């Protein structure tokens, strides 16, 4: 699971995005995405994939998309804090 956050105080924007790969009861792989405002219930979407490779490719693509839009992992956000 990957947990990302985006903070933009000037726009009062505090959001999270969570990505995970999960196997369902039928043995199929899914990309599970959850997003919303930090501290509030968000939305959830499950995308079925034809294989693990396809699920991993979608996972990587979505991760890069979110990073381009300013989302950062919580750990990287805290690296500069002493």
* CB neighbours of residue 34 within 10 Å: 17
- Name every residue whose Cβ is closer than 8 Å to that of residue 57 and which is 6 or more positions away in sequence: none
pLDDT along the chain (82 residues), means of 10: 95 96 93 96 95 96 96 66 40
- Here the CATH number for the domain that contains residue 69 is 2.20.140.10
Q: Does residue 82 lie within any of the structural domains?
A: no
What per-residue confidence (pLDDT) applies to 77?
47
CA distance linking residue 38 with residue 7, whole number of Å: 10
Which range marks the domain in which residue 18 is found? 2-73
What per-residue confidence (pLDDT) applies to 74?
78
């Amino acid at each position: 699971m990957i947990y990302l956050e985006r903070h933009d105080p000037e726009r009062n924007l505090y959001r999270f995005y969570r990505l995970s790969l999960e196997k369902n009861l039928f043995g199929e792989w899914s990309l599970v995405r959850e997003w919303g405002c930090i501290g509030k219930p968000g939305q959830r979407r499950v995308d079925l994939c034809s294989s693990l490779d396809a699920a991993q490719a979608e996972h990587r693509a979505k991760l890069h998309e979110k990073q381009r839009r300013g989302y950062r992992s919580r750990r990287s956000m805290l690296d500069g804090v002493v």
